[in-house]
C-alpha cells in the first residue's frame, strides 16, 4: 500500500471510529451539544456516484451508493486501491459546530492535535459572551430597509423571522436566552409590514412589495426634510446669537464712550508766549 493510500485509509478509519446516527440532530439543543462523530462522503465524478461510508473492512470500505438523478440506494464495497481516486468530504460534528474537510492529511493533522475540541471550546466562549449582550430590536423601517437592500442584490429574497434574525444578528442568536422573545417580536413586525402591503406573505416567508419601496422613499424624504429644517434652525440660532453679541457691543459702547486716541496733554508744559518787538 502506497503512502497516499495509507493516508486516505487512515483518515477514513479514524473518521468512522464513532458511528454517526442516521439523522444528525440539528435543533434539539441537548442532543446537539453531545454530538461527537463524523460522516464521510466519497464522490466518483466520472461515474456520477456519491457514496456515504458505513464502516471499514480489511480490503476497503462498505458504503451506500447514490446515483445522480436517482432516489434508490445500494450497498457497495469500495476497495482500498480506489479510495484515493475519489473526491473526499469529511464532515466532523462536535457539539454545536461542524467542520468540513476535503483533505485527508488536514483531517489527520487536526485529529491528532485535537483541533476540533479547541474550536468547540473557543466557539462556546464566544457564544457565552454573545449571550451576555442585549439584542437590540430594529423598528419597522430598519426591517423594511433590510428587505430593500437585500432584494436589490438578490431579486428573489424572502425572509421569515428566523432568516431575518440571522441577517441582523448572525447565527449565534439561536442560542441566546432571549431568542424566543425576539422571534415573536420580528414575526409581529413582518405581519405588520404585510398588513400595510409593504411586504407579502409567500409560503413560509415574506417578500418585498412595491408599496415597501414607496414607504421607505417617503420616510427618507421626510427624514431629509427634518434634517434640513434642523440645519436651518441651527444656522438661524447661530445668526441670532451673533446679532445679539453685536447689539450688546454697540450698547456697551453707547454707555461707555472710548477716549479720543492720540498723545495725552496732561503733563505737557505750555511754552510762554513770544513777546512782540
CATH number at residue 241: 1.10.10.10
For 231-252, the pLDDT digits (tens) are 777 887 888 888 888 877 787 7
Task: Report whether 142 contacts 190 (CB < 8 A).
Answer: no
Cα–Cα nearest to 21, from 42, 10, 35, 33: 35
Same domain as 106, residue 24:
yes
The CA–CA distances, whole Å, from 158 to 148, 153, 155, 187 equal: 11, 12, 9, 14
265 found inside a domain: no
262 found inside a domain: no
Q: How many structural domains are present in the chain?
A: 2
Query: Can you say whether residue 256 is alpha, beta or left, with left for phi > 0 and alpha for psi between -120 and 50 degrees?
Result: beta
Same domain as 231, residue 153:
yes
Q: Are β-strands 73-79 and 36-44 bridged in parallel, bridged antiparallel, or unpaired? A: unpaired
271 found inside a domain: no
Rg (CA), the chain: 38
106 found inside a domain: yes
Q: Which residues pair with 210 in a beta bridge?
A: none
CA 200 to chain centre: 24
Same domain as 45, residue 99:
yes
Same domain as 243, residue 192:
yes
Same domain as 125, residue 66:
yes
277 found inside a domain: no
Same domain as 194, residue 107:
no
Same domain as 47, residue 99:
yes
pLDDT in 10s for each residue of the chain, 277 residues: 688 889 999 999 999 998 899 899 988 888 999 999 999 999 999 889 999 999 999 999 999 999 988 777 899 999 999 999 999 999 999 999 999 999 999 999 999 999 999 999 999 999 999 999 988 888 899 999 999 999 888 888 899 999 999 999 998 998 899 999 999 999 999 999 999 989 999 888 999 988 888 888 777 777 777 676 777 778 878 888 888 888 777 877 788 765 444 555 555 555 566 565 4
Same domain as 93, residue 19:
yes
Q: With the CA atoms of 101, 90, 73 and 35 taken in that order, what torsion angle do they form, in degrees rounded to the nearest 10? A: -130
Residue 68's CB is within 10 A of a number of other CB atoms, namely: 11
Q: Output the CA angle 77-12-76, nearest 5 degrees.
A: 10
**Which pLDDT score is estimated for 189?**
93
Same domain as 46, residue 122:
yes
Same domain as 122, residue 235:
no
pTM, entire model: 0.67
Domain that holds residue 137: 133-250
- Distance from C-alpha of 257 to C-alpha of 176, rounded to nearest angstrom: 73
273 found inside a domain: no
**Which pLDDT score is estimated for 108?**
96
**Which pLDDT score is estimated for 261?**
47
Could you give the 3-state DSSP secondary structure of residue 98? strand
Alpha-helical (H) ranges within the chain are 3-15, 29-33, 104-113, 115-131, 140-153, 161-169, 179-195, 210-255
Query: Exposed, middle or buried by CB within 10 Å (0-12, 13-18, 19+), for 140?
Result: middle
Same domain as 238, residue 212:
yes
Same domain as 65, residue 38:
yes
Amino acid at each position: 500500500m502506497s503512502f497516499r493510500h495509507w493516508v486516505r485509509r487512515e483518515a477514513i478509519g479514524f473518521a468512522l471510529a464513532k458511528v454517526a446516527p442516521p439523522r444528525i440532530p440539528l435543533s434539539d439543543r441537548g442532543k446537539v451539544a453531545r454530538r461527537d462523530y463524523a460522516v464521510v462522503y466519497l464522490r466518483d465524478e466520472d461515474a456520477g456516484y456519491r457514496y456515504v461510508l458505513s464502516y471499514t473492512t480489511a480490503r476497503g470500505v462498505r458504503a451506500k451508493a447514490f446515483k445522480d438523478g436517482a432516489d434508490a440506494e445500494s450497498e457497495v464495497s469500495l476497495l482500498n486501491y480506489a479510495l484515493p481516486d475519489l473526491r473526499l468530504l469529511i464532515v466532523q460534528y462536535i457539539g454545536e459546530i461542524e467542520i468540513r474537510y476535503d483533505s485527508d492529511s488536514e483531517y489527520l493533522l487536526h485529529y491528532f492535535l485535537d483541533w476540533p475540541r479547541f474550536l468547540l471550546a473557543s466557539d462556546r466562549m464566544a457564544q457565552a459572551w454573545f449571550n451576555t449582550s442585549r439584542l437590540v430590536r430594529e423598528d419597522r423601517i430598519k426591517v423594511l430597509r433590510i428587505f430593500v437592500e437585500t432584494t436589490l442584490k438578490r431579486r428573489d429574497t424572502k425572509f421569515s423571522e428566523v432568516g431575518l434574525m440571522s441577517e441582523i444578528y448572525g447565527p449565534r442568536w439561536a442560542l441566546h436566552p432571549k431568542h424566543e422573545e425576539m422571534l415573536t417580536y420580528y414575526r409581529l413586525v413582518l405581519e405588520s409590514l404585510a398588513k400595510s402591503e409593504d411586504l407579502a406573505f409567500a409560503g413560509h416567508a415574506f417578500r418585498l412589495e412595491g408599496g415597501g419601496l414607496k414607504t421607505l422613499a417617503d420616510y427618507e424624504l421626510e427624514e431629509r426634510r427634518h434634517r434640513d429644517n434642523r440645519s436651518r434652525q441651527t444656522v438661524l440660532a447661530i445668526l441670532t446669537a451673533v446679532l445679539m453679541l453685536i447689539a450688546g457691543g454697540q450698547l456697551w459702547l453707547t454707555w461707555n464712550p472710548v477716549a479720543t486716541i492720540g498723545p495725552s496733554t496732561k503733563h505737557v508744559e505750555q511754552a510762554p508766549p513770544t513777546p512782540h518787538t
